[in-house]
Structure 1
Amino acid sequence: MFAEKDSVLVSSITADSPRERLLHLGPSALRADELLACVMQSGNGRTTVFDIAHRLLESIGGVYALADVEVSELVHVPGIGRAKAIQIAAAVELGRRIAHKPSESRLQIRTADDAARYVMDRMRYLKKEHFVTLLLDTKHRLVGEETCSIGSLDASIVHPREIFRLAVRRVASAILCVHNHPSGDPTPSPEDIAVTKRLTQSGRVLGIEVLDHLVIGDGRFISLRAAGYMDK
């Protein structure tokens, strides 16, 4: 009898709205479009919130693309106005911050593998190139992080002044640079190599060592130091 009642309850919940399913089954039981529907809360009178959520994910290429979509792009998706776009952007940013909650003991970056593990999951799916600087203390423990540019990597965009500004302010003794290739292929370009050499030279002048520059692809990476480009 109890098993039969439980079966009826689960069937009833499954037929309910995503919010009811989240309440009874927990957020892990929901698909990405259902979670997105919970964030947006309501439709627009002509289309249900679930259909809007499903359409949005299809139009941008899946849930991971949300990490790289701006409010100005979201408002052009049918059914999503300014308010819903803001809700989505805020939810994505909250998730990003929670995912990178500082540990009680600072993360120590001993190798290129350590750095790659730290950034891989959040950078491998980005649709634009993001240049990130990890700031390290004398024991190579992480003391800060900064996204220095978004867009195609170019020497005129990734300027040493911007890269080292926060490092100087945070009294970092070393930095490790990371950027992604949206193509998924981490093979460094001539621009990647040129930027790396420029930053390495600037670091020597400032007394802040550039430990490495990683190029992140889809599940794999290349260390420019290991490839020999930082010693030339």
Structure 2
Amino acid sequence: MVQETNLLMEVPKASRPRERLDQFGEKALATHELLAIILRTGPRDSNAMQLALRVLNEFEDLHSLKLASLEELTSIHGIGRTKAIEIKACVELGVRVANATQLKCGTITSTQSAGTLLQKEMRDLQQEHVVAVYLNTKNEIIKKKTIFIGSLNSSVAHPREIFREAVRFAAARIILAHNHPSGNPDPSEADLVFTRRMVECGEMMGIEILDHFIIGVDDYLSLREYGII
């Protein structure tokens, strides 16, 4: 039985698109290499890279490929119904990704609005949670995330975790919050040290720490109003 050419076996490993994407990232790949990853295998007489080139040669440009019907795709040697469906699904996913916008979860308009929102969400937590609210330049909330659970004097409370997410979400500003399960929002020395450290890191990275709230059961404390930020 003749085996189907699989996974570009005759192509040197360093030149295979999967390995190249893993090493250099998706932007380093040519269009036919990206398509070859989707196709995975070729027919008996060619590999996935050759099949990808054959598909692209059938259409004038990627716009034409986007509009291709299943029948047009399956007319290409090596493209069966399953591969044609996979190509159509990937094309449509690409269109939806291109049209996607970053979700907004409200706008911070004042210290009071931010504090009230965070106190409502965090006042009943039984463990200390550290939350980062990531904002764009319009103070719209683009992401709110619990960074870690535990005391701020713990080794897990490190700025890199907070700023890694800020870079990922392209945030311009950050609001920090953590709760005191005791119910008393008065800041500890560890709270003050952590806040100053975050402000310094933010200044170096060009990402503003807008405020740090300490959440109690019945009230909250803004460290900006407290004079630490």
Normalised by the length of structure 2, the TM-score is 0.53
Paired residues, what number?
Answer: 127
Aligned to 2:149: 150
Aligned to 1:130: 129
Q: Shift of the alpha carbon at 1:217?
A: 0.2
Aligned to 1:225: 224
Q: State whether residues 138 and 174 of structure 1, in contact with CA within 8 Å, keep that contact through their aligned partners in structure 2.
A: yes
Aligned to 1:207: 206
Q: Shift of the alpha carbon at 1:155?
A: 5.9
> Quick one: distance in 1 between partners of 2:124 and 2:168?
31
Q: Deviations over 1:171-230 (max 9, x none)?
A: 000000000000100000000000000000000011000000000001200001101112
Alignment of 1:155-194 (within 5 A): 156-194=155-193
User: 1:148 corresponds to which letter in structure 2?
Assistant: I
User: 2:106 corresponds to which letter in structure 1?
Assistant: L
Task: Label 1:141 to 1:178 Cα distance change in 2 as closer, same or farther (>3 A).
Answer: same
> Quick one: distance in 1 between partners of 2:151 and 2:199?
20
132-141 or 148-157, larger mean C-alpha shift:
148-157
Alignment of 1:29-178 (within 5 A): 106-154=105-153, 156-178=155-177
Normalised by the length of structure 1, the TM-score is 0.53
RMSD between superposed Cα atoms in Å: 1.4
Aligned to 2:6: none
> Quick one: distance in 1 between partners of 2:133 and 2:144?
5
Q: Deviations over 1:112-169 (max 9, x none)?
A: 2111222222211111110000000001110001111101112632111001111101
> Quick one: distance in 1 between partners of 2:105 and 2:182?
32
> Quick one: distance in 1 between partners of 2:227 and 2:104?
32
SS of residue matched to 1:164: helix
Structure 1 stretches of 4+ moved >2 Å: none
171-180 or 115-124, larger mean C-alpha shift:
115-124
Task: Label 1:105 to 1:195 Cα distance change in 2 as closer, same or farther (>3 A).
Answer: closer
Unaligned runs of 5+ in 1: 1-103
What is the percentage of aligned positions where both structures have the same residue?
43
> Quick one: distance in 2 between partners of 1:130 and 1:113?
20
SS of residue matched to 1:194: helix
> Quick one: distance in 2 between partners of 1:110 and 1:205?
25
Q: Shift of the alpha carbon at 1:110?
A: 2.2
Q: When you count helix as a share of all residues, which structure comes out higher?
A: 1
Unaligned runs of 5+ in 2: 1-102
